[in-house]
Amino acid sequence: MKSANIEIDSLDILQELFGINDKLIKVIEKRLGVSITQRNSSITVSGTNDGRIRSAVNIIEAMQEALSKQQQLSVDMIHRFLDETDEGDDQDEDIADSTRKVLGDAVTLNYKNIPIRTKTIGQKNYINALKNNTVTICIGPAGTGKTYLAVAYAAEMFRNDEIERIILSRPAIEAGEKLGFLPGDLQEKVDPYLKPLYDALNDVFGPDQAAKLRERGIIEVAPLAYMRGRTLNNSMIIIDESQNATLPILKMALTRIGVGSKMILTGDVTQIDLSKETDSGLQKCASILKNVDDIATISLTNRDVVRCKIVKDIVKAFEKEEAKAAEKTQKRAARRSGRS
């Protein structure tokens, strides 16, 4: 049995590292197959594999660093550290570096003055792309913070007087229910499709301020079709659920950008609600614009899912099943080709 020791400065930090009923440390023990014990001001990591012991030590040190930055430790955060460790291939410096990269930078403060932070390396790359480009295309699965971080960054730009308006839009495409079956006038019919945008605005600005900013026209939430014919200056324009827009519609939206504006297209290409006869334009748009200056494309993966661990596990399970189906299709095509 091999072991490594970590000296901790205070009993309070020790308690936070272990968590209630040792729940945080138990996650590390289960995933890495090590034993972690505490005696006085020292933590001992024991096991049979040097690489796994080093991984556990680096994760505990990353947890300490998170506490020093006033970040709250959680089971989901520990799983994100462990996911990065899985990519380290037992190389000590790589593991230490990757786990620390998960520690998030503050994008802005929410209405309760709590920092909204990136939580994965992919999310950090996303925010850097937003800062450094006029147009950012972000493609990734559910739960990766595509829309939420876009709204948070837009809020920070508005608070710093870098923009005058925030415009949020998404296609009003049905996912099961038809618009005609919903009650009310046109605005009431499309509001359910815009609800995720309202939720993000309310969380960042607070319900009262978000409502006031909407009343004053500083924040505008509208279906994508309402964009046609406009020129949008000094604005942050967020086009959510872009996988449900055709290429001509995305071209129309992109050509609305005016002086002093930025645009973000977000979408999940595994959740397209368009009819089979209608092609999604998001991936085509990203391909067409990939070599254009001042435009960035960011791809988030299941590793960037931060909604909760179960969502990440669901995304992984579906990706595995879809990969199996694709492999079967390729084999069938190969057999047909061989027969012909």
CATH number for the region 121-306 comes to 3.40.50.300
Other C-beta atoms within 10 Å of 241: how many? 26
Angstrom CA distances, 31 to 26, 55, 60, 85, 307, stand at 9, 11, 14, 11, 20
Q: What is the mean pLDDT of residues 179-203?
A: 70
Asked if residue 125 lies in contact with residue 248, where contact means CB atoms within 8 angstroms, the answer is: no
Residues in CB range of 69: below 8 A, 6 or more apart? 103
Q: Which two tokens stand for residue 187?
A: 């605005």
Of 115 and 84, more confident: 115
* Mean pLDDT over each residue of the chain, to the nearest integer: 85
DSSP element (H, E) containing 24 = helix 23-32
Q: Rounded to an integer, what distance in angstroms lies between the CA atom of residue 296 and that of residue 265? A: 10
Q: Is the pLDDT reported for residue 186 higher than 60?
A: no
Ranking 45-59, 173-187, 317-331 by mean pLDDT, the lowest is 173-187
pLDDT, tens digit, 9 for 90 and up, residues 270-316: 888 888 768 899 999 999 999 999 999 999 988 888 766 677 678 77
| φ, ψ at 184 (rounded to 5°) | 95, 180
Architecture of the domain defined by 2-101: 2-Layer Sandwich (3.30)
Of 140 and 227, more confident: 140
Angstrom CA distances, 139 to 36, 80, 88, 339, stand at 39, 20, 25, 38
Q: Is the pLDDT reported for residue 89 higher than 70?
A: no
Q: Rounded to an integer, what distance in angstroms lies between the CA atom of residue 34 and that of residue 87? A: 18
Q: Is the pLDDT reported for residue 17 higher than 90?
A: yes
pLDDT > 70: what percent of the chain?
86
The per-residue pLDDT for 71 is 81
Q: pTM value?
A: 0.76
The per-residue pLDDT for 339 is 66
**Residue ranges covered by each domain of the chain:** 2-101, 121-306, 308-340
